[in-house]
Amino acid sequence: MSEHISKPLGGKIFTWPIIFFGILILIGLYAITHRFVSGIGAVSDLNGGFPWGLWIAFDLLVGTGFACGGWALAWTVYVFNQGQYHPMVRSALLASLFGYSLGGFSILIDVGRYWNVPYFYIPGFFNVNSVLFETAFCMTVYVFVVMFEFAPVICERLGWKISLRKMNKVMFAAISLGVLLPTMHQSSMGSLFNIAGLKLHPLWRSGAILGPLSLLTALIMGFAIVIFEGSITRAGLRGKDVADETPLFAKLYRIIRWLIIAFFILRFGELALGDKMKLLFVGDRGAWLFWLESALLAMPLYILSKDKYIKDARWLFGCAISMMLGAALWRMNLSLFTFDPGDGYSYFPTGEEILISIGLVAMEVCGFILIVKYFPVISFLAPKKEDGQKVVTDEAHNEVAQ
């Protein structure tokens, strides 16, 4: 296996991508300020029938799913000891840190009386019987866990090698939590919707398997986002000594393939056992959305079964997008697109709701770009060692991976 070394990209701060996304951030911050000053009713179309909307369905459910790259790789690298994927871990952790932090911030935006949020963290006010408590608790702790897992990057940048060695002695505990916590709350996010009962469309009213389906979509999105981000980074740094990760992407797909197959077995098995297969052919919105999400997930199974495609970085990138969209659409269909509270309630996101969501995505993109410029996140091929010269690689800095 080739040796890799992580280092900052460097370069100017004010590039065109930073300027473009910076403008979107400013617009989003204006809308967020308006929401907190004037109230949630002034900026959203939420109502008694739709207590959650775009900020929960997209920013939280889909956003944290896309942020599962660090969790998915933690299972692969640390649990199953597949060290060849280690060069991807830092960028995946960074994306997870932004995704979960901004997902948590979207909850603060969505809560009507946001000034009551601190009560969640005060002993004596815990509602331990609530699935939402378990989800919120796991997400909060996981953000700090990812911060600790990402801390070696900061220590390395500042030259705190002694602190780094001490940190590695307890890193196994953080990694264990980093594997456990998302497993808990990603499954709970699906199980939570069982309380909606008949308000869910029958095709997504999956009972006990909503949790496993939510967990599988999180893993699919997590692995797919690693391929997506890695492909974009490699394309943007073409001509530099960035490692060709296409073979690793192909191996990751072979993991995703079994996750998609497991998803379809559970999905169609539940429909068959529940005598709901006939609903797939009624031609309503739910049926069309079902076939669309299924097609987006199934298409990579066919395309990447061909050797000539699975070895092509362009096809891997396209299939990663397809898998991300398919898994994300399952979550959007469950929580929003097919949700029907009855009693004449309807919902469509306002312009400011959309601008806030766009602003949060822009914050993540800008933050990612700026951090990789000044911190050793992206992996490059290590320079060839001369006689008597020692090159410190990512593997040397992360002995805990072994």
pLDDT, one tens digit per residue, over 7-30 is: 888 888 889 999 999 999 999 999
- The span from the CA of 402 to the CA of 384, in Å, is 23
User: How many H helices and E strands in the chain?
Assistant: 14, 2
DSSP labels, 311-376: T-HHHHHHHHHHHHHHHHHHHHIIIIIT----TT------HHHHHHHHHHHHHHHHHHHHHHHHSS
CA 187 → CA 138, 210, 296, 363, distances in Å? 11, 8, 22, 27
Residue of 371, 380, 364 lying closest to 96 (CA atoms): 364
The pLDDT tens digits of the residues spanning 122-175 come to 888 888 887 788 888 889 999 999 998 898 888 888 877 766 667 767 787 888
* 366 located within any domain: no
Residue 78 belongs to domain spanning: 46-347
- The span from the CA of 27 to the CA of 30, in Å, is 5
The pLDDT tens digits of the residues spanning 174-225 come to 888 888 889 988 998 898 899 999 999 999 999 899 999 999 999 999 999 9
For position 133, what pLDDT does the model report?
A: 84
Is the separation of the CB atoms in 369 and 59 below 8 Å? no
* 16 located within any domain: no
> What is the count of structural domains for the chain?
1
Predicted confidence (pLDDT) at residue 290 exceeds the cutoff of 90: yes
The pLDDT tens digits of the residues spanning 235-277 come to 777 656 666 778 888 889 989 999 999 999 999 999 999 999 9
- The span from the CA of 325 to the CA of 328, in Å, is 5
* 397 located within any domain: no
Extract the tokens encoding 219: 């893993």
- H-helix or E-strand spanning residue 379: strand 379-381
Average pLDDT over residues 71-82: 83
- The span from the CA of 374 to the CA of 381, in Å, is 18
Q: pTM for this one? A: 0.90
Say which CATH number the domain at 51 has. 1.20.1630.10
Residues pairing with 242 in the sheet: 380
* 391 located within any domain: no
Is the separation of the CB atoms in 62 and 387 below 8 Å? no
CA angle 62, 67, 70 (to 5 degrees): 150
- Confidence label for 396 from pLDDT (cuts 50, 70 and 90): very low
- The span from the CA of 226 to the CA of 228, in Å, is 5
* 28 located within any domain: no
* 389 located within any domain: no
- The span from the CA of 231 to the CA of 246, in Å, is 8
* 3 located within any domain: no
* 164 located within any domain: yes
Residues pairing with 4 in the sheet: 381
Q: Which residue has the higher pLDDT, 292 or 169?
A: 292
Is the separation of the CB atoms in 75 and 259 below 8 Å? no
In the chain, the amino acid numbered 53 is: G
Mean pLDDT of the chain: 87
- The span from the CA of 167 to the CA of 400, in Å, is 10
Residue of 216, 227, 228, 69 lying closest to 149 (CA atoms): 69
Burial of 179 (0-12, 13-18, 19+ CB in 10 A): middle
- Confidence label for 1 from pLDDT (cuts 50, 70 and 90): very low
Which residues lie closer than 8 Å to 343 by C-beta, 6 or more apart? 49
- H-helix or E-strand spanning residue 6: strand 4-6
For position 155, what pLDDT does the model report?
A: 84
Contacts of 89-92 with CB under 8 Å at 24 or more apart are 89/398, 89/401, 90/6, 90/150, 90/153, 90/376, 90/377, 90/378, 90/379, 90/394, 91/229, 91/230, 91/233, 91/372, 91/377, 91/378, 92/225, 92/226, 92/229
